[in-house]
């Protein structure tokens, strides 16, 4: 019975009841939302497991795949559906925490825009096909291909997926594996490799008393965000560590700092050298371990010189040096905004020099050991691969290319010309969950099972002294019968290439199961094979240990271009957020809806501008600006904010997708990567993300408003946080306690 069917007479009767129980009258109306009898199905179990009770969740361990950090998760499963994810407390990576991207993984799984069927290009459009057709076409195109003509571009990859992927490349005789991640620590890794002999040293935030971070957003996007959040909590407790953050625009980490210093992008290296100079000349530390050329470089960065090169106050520079010395041991880190320059390597190297002078190596920067099984070890992505792939595609070097876990057509700046050069590749196969900018260019699209439906093993790229293999297991049956797990697809492709070694495995599960049977007995704790497997699945991981290594400080020579700090052009900062990440999560409504950590903007892009710059340009919050580089232009609404260097306009990554990428991301904001100049760090070849000069002008206003959650930057007199000037405090109440 629905509301509309209540007759007038009934209605009057109901009204007539009046007085008695009047408050409950409404509650007796059959509600319009009550489901009618017989409209839904109830399905019983055929034969339930003894531990399954309908209505009561069972938790299974698996691994998050929303970013390369590889956190362990627990998924709550009820009546065959996964309902909620949490962090796996046993995982050393995240210790039970789960970030918002991890939470939103469910929305990727249940997303209505997931690709449900393989697709094959017929003329200008992609049409549904069967797996046999897709496999057949791939087999045909790769039948006689020479190894050098084949390439595979992936995101960061590890575990048995990496083993199978390498096996496939070998079966074709190709060494062309391009591993691409826009958000990476590639320059840091190279500097660590060169100066410490270990590309992935262990950072002991818990042991440090102070921290100087050049744009390392370790609470957001640097390294392993959840791991470092926990370590940071230790750093902040008894005694409370001091965090100094230097960056062009404030990140989540910067917002937590005791001292936040705005840097003009590219001047980070000069600032580091200036601080080094102070440590040596004023704080009595020695730089004797460094090469002579670096010593004289440090000597040249006198206080005056550093002020000129960086625009940072002399007092502040001296103060930072004094704090680092006083609050020892310290640790100095460098991240995206420090490495994103043509001299990015030097900037990061200068930061690492500070660690050497401060004596942090061996104290707060330790060796992390090496993962014991090389073939499963994590291969971390970079942007160098994107640049070289774009070049290779332009040079028509490939006939067949596979793409998985990447969306290079979105992440590549237009100036690399990747989209155009893809036309030179006759056959492109894209493994994907969703239609996106890259699947649009594909000849074959292979729909992947979601994280919650697939098997896998993962080795987190950053682990604190342990060698855990984290298990990914299905939390429920696939939603579509026509999607396939990544491992299953590669295994089938290997079989189609008549690789006999794989013929015995019915599916990827069988392959993994066998792999775990062959793990050396020392890891099995005396358990039977079956028990061991069950234990590993229940725990979600197994620690197979690491080979001990040690750090060896090596003198690395580098120079520092002088004029970097003081050019007056504006610079575009395509800053990254734990949210959309490199844009891959813009299709998840929870993340669109979650206000940005800094600007509180929802469902949109924005450009952060310093109030003084905004005044110069003549814009106020919500106005449109045109940001033009040599490589293109974008129009975006302005958010005025003091946490950005006056020479910088910051447009966070993630939006500006083509219409194909889901109903939630379409027609929303801009992609700041698209207008970057094709500059690279000269030492590593990494894209110089923070070095594109732009011209910012006021653009015609649109009706669109900038939608922000919350609103004001002031306390509007509400005394949420009471403050008192230091001299008044000293005079009136706390004089005795001030040092």
- 10 Å Cβ neighbour count for 292? 9
Q: Which entry of ligand SF4, other proteins, none binds 739, CB below 5 to 8 A by partner kind?
A: none
Q: Is 397 in the site for other proteins (CB under 8 A)?
A: no
Contact segment (CB under 6 A) with ligand SF4 among 99-107, 152-160, 195-203, 683-691 equals: 99-107
Determine the Cα–Cα distance for residues 208 and 365; give it in Å rounded to an integer: 10
Q: Is 104 in the site for ligand SF4 (CB under 6 A)?
A: no
- 10 Å Cβ neighbour count for 327? 16
* Residue placing its CB nearer to other proteins in the complex, 26 or 711: 26
- Can you spell out the DSSP letters for 384-435? HHHHHHHHHHHTT--SEEEEES--HHHHS-GGG-HHHHGGG-SEEEEEESB-
Contact segment (CB under 6 A) with ligand SF4 among 92-100, 391-399, 601-609, 671-679 equals: 92-100
* Residue placing its CB nearer to other proteins in the complex, 222 or 516: 516
Q: For other proteins, which residue of 59, 131, 590, 603 counts as binding (CB under 8 A)?
A: 59
Q: Is 265 in the site for ligand SF4 (CB under 6 A)?
A: no
Q: Is 482 in the site for other proteins (CB under 8 A)?
A: no
Contact segment (CB under 8 A) with other proteins among 72-80, 488-496, 640-648, 684-692 equals: 72-80
Determine the Cα–Cα distance for residues 32 and 29; give it in Å rounded to an integer: 9
Pairing of strands 242-247, 210-214: parallel
Q: For ligand SF4, which residue of 60, 61, 62, 71 counts as binding (CB under 6 A)?
A: 71
**Contact of 304 with 279, CB cutoff 8 Å:** no
**SS3 label, residue 242:** strand
Q: Which entry of ligand SF4, other proteins, none binds 101, CB below 5 to 8 A by partner kind?
A: ligand SF4
Contact segment (CB under 6 A) with ligand SF4 among 93-101, 324-332, 400-408, 608-616 equals: 93-101
How many residues comprise the chain? 739
Residue 495: partners with Cβ closer than 8 Å, 6 or more residues away = 502, 503
Report the phi/psi class of residue 152: left, alpha or beta, with left for phi > 0 and alpha for psi in -120 to 50.
beta
Q: Which entry of other proteins, ligand SF4, none binds 729, CB below 5 to 8 A by partner kind?
A: none
Q: Is 405 in the site for ligand SF4 (CB under 6 A)?
A: no
Residue 497-536 contact track with other proteins, rule CB under 8 A, x = bound = ------------x------------------------xxx
Residue with tokens 């189609």: 496
Q: Which residues of 216-246 are buried (b: 16+ CB within 10 A; e: fewer)?
A: bbbbbbbbbbbbbbbbbeebeeeeebbbbbb
Check residue 597 and report its DSSP letter: T
Q: Is 588 in the site for ligand SF4 (CB under 6 A)?
A: no
* Residue placing its CB nearer to other proteins in the complex, 330 or 470: 470
Residue 456-475 contact track with other proteins, rule CB under 8 A, x = bound = -----------------xxx
Q: Is 47 in the site for other proteins (CB under 8 A)?
A: yes
Across-strand partners of 657?
A: 666
Across the beta sheet with 444-447, the strand order is 125-128, 119-122, 444-447, 427-432, 400-404, 150-154, 177-179
Q: For ligand SF4, which residue of 106, 196, 226, 638 counts as binding (CB under 6 A)?
A: 226
* Residue placing its CB nearer to other proteins in the complex, 55 or 239: 55
Helices 159-172 and 508-517 cross at an angle (nearest 10°) of 110
How many chain residues are in contact with other proteins, going by CB under 8 A? 58
Q: Is 738 in the site for other proteins (CB under 8 A)?
A: no
- Nearest-approach distance from CB 509 to other proteins, in angstroms: 7
Q: Is 467 in the site for ligand SF4 (CB under 6 A)?
A: no
Q: Is 33 in the site for other proteins (CB under 8 A)?
A: yes
**Contact of 590 with 103, CB cutoff 8 Å:** yes
Residue with tokens 């935030």: 205
What are the Cα distances from residue 31, in Å, to 21, 26, 551?
18, 9, 70
Q: Is 594 in the site for ligand SF4 (CB under 6 A)?
A: no
Q: Is 374 in the site for other proteins (CB under 8 A)?
A: no
Contact segment (CB under 8 A) with other proteins among 30-38, 184-192, 243-251, 594-602 equals: 30-38
What are the Cα distances from residue 204, in Å, to 201, 232, 333, 541?
10, 9, 11, 23
Across-strand partners of 542?
A: 469
Q: Is 536 in the site for ligand SF4 (CB under 6 A)?
A: no
Q: Which entry of ligand SF4, other proteins, none binds 40, CB below 5 to 8 A by partner kind?
A: other proteins
Binding site for ligand SF4 (CB under 6 A): 64, 66-67, 69-71, 94, 98-99, 101-102, 225-226
Binding site for other proteins (CB under 8 A): 21, 24-31, 33-49, 51-61, 74, 76-77, 80, 84, 86, 89, 96, 473-477, 509, 534-540
């Amino acid at each position: 019975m629905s509301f509309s069917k209540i007759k007038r007479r009934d209605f009057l009767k109901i009204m007539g009841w009046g007085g008695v129980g009047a408050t409950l009258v409404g509650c007796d109306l059959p509600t319009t939302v009550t489901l009618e009898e017989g409209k839904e199905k109830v399905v019983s179990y055929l034969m339930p497991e003894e531990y399954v009770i309908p209505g009561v969740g069972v938790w299974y361990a698996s691994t998050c795949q929303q970013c390369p950090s590889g956190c362990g998760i627990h998924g709550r499963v009820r009546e065959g559906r996964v309902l909620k994810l949490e962090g796996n407390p046993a995982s050393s990576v995240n210790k039970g925490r789960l970030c918002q991207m991890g939470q939103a993984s469910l929305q990727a799984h249940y997303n209505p825009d997931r690709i449900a069927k393989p697709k094959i290009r017929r003329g200008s459009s992609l049409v549904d096909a069967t797996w046999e057709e897709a496999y057949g076409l791939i087999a045909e195109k790769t039948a006689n291909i020479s190894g050098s003509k084949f390439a595979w571009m992936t995101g960061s990859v590890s575990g048995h997926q990496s083993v199978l992927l390498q096996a496939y490349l070998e079966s074709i005789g190709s060494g062309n594996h391009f591993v691409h991640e826009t958000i990476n620590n590639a320059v840091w890794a190279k500097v660590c490799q060169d100066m410490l002999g270990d590309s992935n040293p262990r950072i002991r935030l818990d042991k440090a008393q102070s921290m100087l971070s050049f744009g390392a957003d370790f609470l957001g996007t640097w390294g392993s965000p959840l791991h470092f959040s926990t370590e940071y909590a230790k750093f902040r407790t008894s005694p409370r560590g001091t965090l100094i953050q230097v960056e062009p625009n404030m990140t989540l980490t910067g917002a937590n700092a005791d001292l936040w210093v705005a840097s003009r992008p590219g001047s980070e290296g000069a600032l580091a050298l200036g601080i080094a100079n102070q440590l040596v000349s004023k704080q009595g530390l020695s730089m004797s371990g460094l090469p002579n050329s670096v010593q004289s470089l440090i000597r040249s960065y006198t206080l005056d010189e550093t002020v000129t090169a960086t625009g940072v106050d002399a007092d502040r520079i001296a103060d930072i040096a004094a704090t680092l010395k006083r609050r020892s041991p310290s640790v100095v880190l460098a991240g995206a905004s420090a490495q994103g320059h043509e001299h990015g390597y030097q900037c990061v190297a200068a930061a690492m020099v500070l660690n050497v002078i401060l004596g942090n190596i061996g104290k707060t920067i330790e060796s992390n050991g090496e993962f014991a099984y090389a073939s499963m070890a994590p291969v971390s992505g970079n942007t160098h691969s994107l640049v070289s792939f774009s070049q290779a595609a332009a040079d028509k070097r490939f006939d067949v290319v596979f793409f998985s876990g990447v969306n290079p057509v979105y992440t590549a700046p237009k100036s690399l010309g990747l989209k155009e050069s893809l036309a030179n590749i006759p056959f492109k196969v894209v493994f994907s969950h969703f239609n996106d900018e890259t699947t649009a260019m594909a000849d074959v699209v292979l729909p992947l099972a979601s994280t919650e439906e697939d098997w896998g093993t993962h080795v987190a790229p950053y682990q604190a002294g342990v060698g855990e293999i984290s298990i990914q297991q299905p939390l429920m049956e696939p939603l579509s019968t026509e999607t396939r797990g990544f491992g299953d697809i590669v295994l089938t492709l290997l079989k189609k290439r008549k690789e006999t070694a794989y013929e015995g495995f019915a599916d990827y599960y069988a392959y993994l199961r066998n792999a775990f049977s062959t793990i050396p007995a020392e890891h099995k704790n005396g358990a039977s094979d079956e028990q061991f497997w069950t234990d590993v699945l229940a725990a979600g991981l197994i620690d197979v240990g690491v080979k001990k290594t040690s750090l060896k400080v090596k003198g690395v020579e580098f120079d520092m271009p002088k004029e970097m700090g003081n050019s007056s052009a504006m610079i575009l900062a395509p800053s990254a957020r734990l949210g959309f990440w490199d844009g891959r999560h813009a299709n998840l409504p929870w993340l669109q809806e979650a206000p940005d950590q800094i600007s509180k903007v929802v469902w949109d892009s924005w450009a952060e501008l310093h109030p003084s710059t905004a005044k110069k340009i003549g814009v106020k919050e919500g106005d449109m600006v045109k940001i033009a580089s040599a490589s293109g232009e974008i129009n975006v609404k302005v958010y005025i904010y003091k946490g950005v260097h006056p020479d910088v306009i910051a447009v966070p990554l993630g939006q500006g997708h083509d219409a194909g990428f889901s109903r939630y991301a379409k027609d929303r904001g801009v992609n700041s990567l698209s207008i970057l100049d094709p500059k690279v760090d000269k030492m590593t070849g990494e894209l110089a993300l923070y070095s594109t000069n732009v011209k910012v002008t006021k653009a015609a206003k649109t009706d669109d408003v900038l939608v922000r959650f919350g609103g004001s930057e002031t306390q509007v007199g509400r005394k949420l946080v009471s403050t008192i000037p230091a001299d008044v405090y000293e005079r009136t109440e706390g004089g005795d306690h001030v040092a």
